[in-house]
Amino acid sequence: MNHGTAGSLRAVTLDDVRGAQKMLSGVSRTTALESSRYLSRAVGAPVHLKCENLQRTGSFKLRGAYVRIAGLLPEERAAGVVAASAGNHAQGVALASSLLGVRSTVFMPKGAPLPKVSATRDYGAEVRLHGQVVDETLDAAVEYAQRTGAVFIHPFDHPDIIAGQGTVGLEILEQCPEVRTVVVGVGGGGLIAGIAVAVKAYRPDVRIVGVQAEGSASYPPSLAAGHPVAVRAPATMADGIKVGRPGEVPFGIVAELVDEVRTVTEDELSAGLLLCLERAKLVVEPAGASPVAALLSRPGAFEGPVVAVLSGGNVDPVLMERVLRHGMAAQGRYLAVRLRLPDRPGALAALLRALSVVDANVLDVSHVRTDPRLGLTEVEVELHLETKGPEHCAEVGRALREAGYTIIG
């Protein structure tokens, strides 16, 4: 890309990442690198999954948080630390602080998922719920730091954070020395910046590809402009990469070392998460599934061997249910149909018999009798069906039409 300034690499060096790796010995896990037969067939080359979803606290965030807090001066540690996060960074800061004997306060949005709030408390932080969105929560944390003297621990915009995240890159080189492409989900840029510093120092030929959610993609316009640009009202279910503006420190590194930043849709994120669960048996949050989504959307665009970094697995069960349904619908494995029936006994039973012939599993049935568009003796029925893919969906539609039903939606 080469959009960066000459000094952009001075913020974090390979020595910094090596030092962080020593600091994290016995603290963070060397997470597994699992091969994916399905993705390897799709890409036409070996694909491996770097399982940071199995890291302590469920994401890579512990690495950077621990390095940052461990590097504080004694008087800074005595003042405590404060952070703002909807989930992964909160848990990383909470555990790192507990391990280092530092008091931590974490501000989280009022709507943060209860499992993430509980986990952050369990790791030892004092949790304060403030604001409806992360920006409001961030402002509250910064104000707290100014008022109390606590050290604010930024989730991505600090050299120590980036050095800690870069240890993922060192592990990738150790576990897959023949790697040709590394694919990483991108929010503020701390993880991909650290990985790029580590990997490019040893293997400048390795291609580093970032992935952002289409509705929250701040890096493509920022790289085009040559400086961080904010995206208004970022929107994506992948809250782990839902960041409206790149960090100043990671931006310089990304601009210099990262080869490409591409985007994926919400449907593609859902499909990636579903594949991780079904094929790899790995629970991954939408942000963590973004590299897999990119591989699925354009498998021919990646030279192998490929390492896709599954950055986290802290997904709220309610969101997981919604995302799985969304992913299955995107793959043609859910079908919703509306049709009209005569409002008489046995009409619904006949419809269900027609569906049973083509092996469509009925998940839900709803009736509408009060719509003014309906005739006096008509009822509208909406069916939600579990199907086996696009071809089965087409077969269900044909069977209904051949049985004399008119599908209206």
Could you say which of 8, 28, 290, 311 is catalytic?
311
* Residue 327, pLDDT score: 67
> Is the model more confident about 82 or about 405?
82
Residue 139, token pair as written in the block:
């402002």
Express each pLDDT in 208-260 by its tens digit: 999 999 999 999 999 999 999 998 888 888 888 888 899 999 999 999 999 99
pLDDT band at 6 (very low <50, low <70, confident <90, very high): very low
Average pLDDT over residues 306-317: 92
Alpha helices (H) in 300-359, listed in sequence order: 317-330, 347-357
Which residues are 35's β-sheet partners?
A: 48
Longest pairwise C-alpha distance within the chain = 80
Q: Is the pLDDT of residue 330 over 80?
A: no
* DSSP per position, 63-86: HHHHHHHHTS-HHHHHH-EEEE-S
pLDDT band at 2 (very low <50, low <70, confident <90, very high): very low
Asked whether the beta carbons of 72 and 102 are under 8 A apart, the reply is yes
Residue 353, token pair as written in the block:
């018999």
> In 10 A of CB 113, how many CB atoms?
19
Average pLDDT over residues 346-374: 77
* Active-site annotation holds for 216: no
Residues 6+ apart with CB under 8 A from 296: 39, 42, 268, 271, 272, 275
> In 10 A of CB 162, how many CB atoms?
31
**What CA–CA distance (Å, rounded) separates 302 from 358?**
39
* Residue 3, pLDDT score: 39
* Residue 370, pLDDT score: 67
* Residue 166, pLDDT score: 98
> In 10 A of CB 180, how many CB atoms?
17
Task: Report in angstroms the alpha-carbon separations of 307 from 167, 183, 187.
Answer: 15, 6, 18
**Which residue matches tokens 């604010």?**
152
Element (H, E) at 222: helix 219-225
Residue 58, token pair as written in the block:
């469920």
Look over the chain and give the mean of its residue pLDDT values, rounded to a whole number: 89
Average pLDDT over residues 327-338: 74
Task: Report in angstroms the alpha-carbon separations of 107 from 139, 153, 383.
Answer: 10, 11, 43
pLDDT band at 1 (very low <50, low <70, confident <90, very high): very low
Could you say which of 50, 61, 116, 200 is catalytic?
61
* Active-site annotation holds for 311: yes
At 61, the amino acid letter reads K
Q: Is the pLDDT of residue 375 over 70?
A: no
**What CA–CA distance (Å, rounded) separates 103 from 144?**
14
Asked whether the beta carbons of 56 and 311 are under 8 A apart, the reply is no
**What CA–CA distance (Å, rounded) separates 14 from 170?**
10
> Is the model more confident about 351 or about 367?
351
> Is the model more confident about 280 or about 175?
175
**What CA–CA distance (Å, rounded) separates 294 from 91?**
27
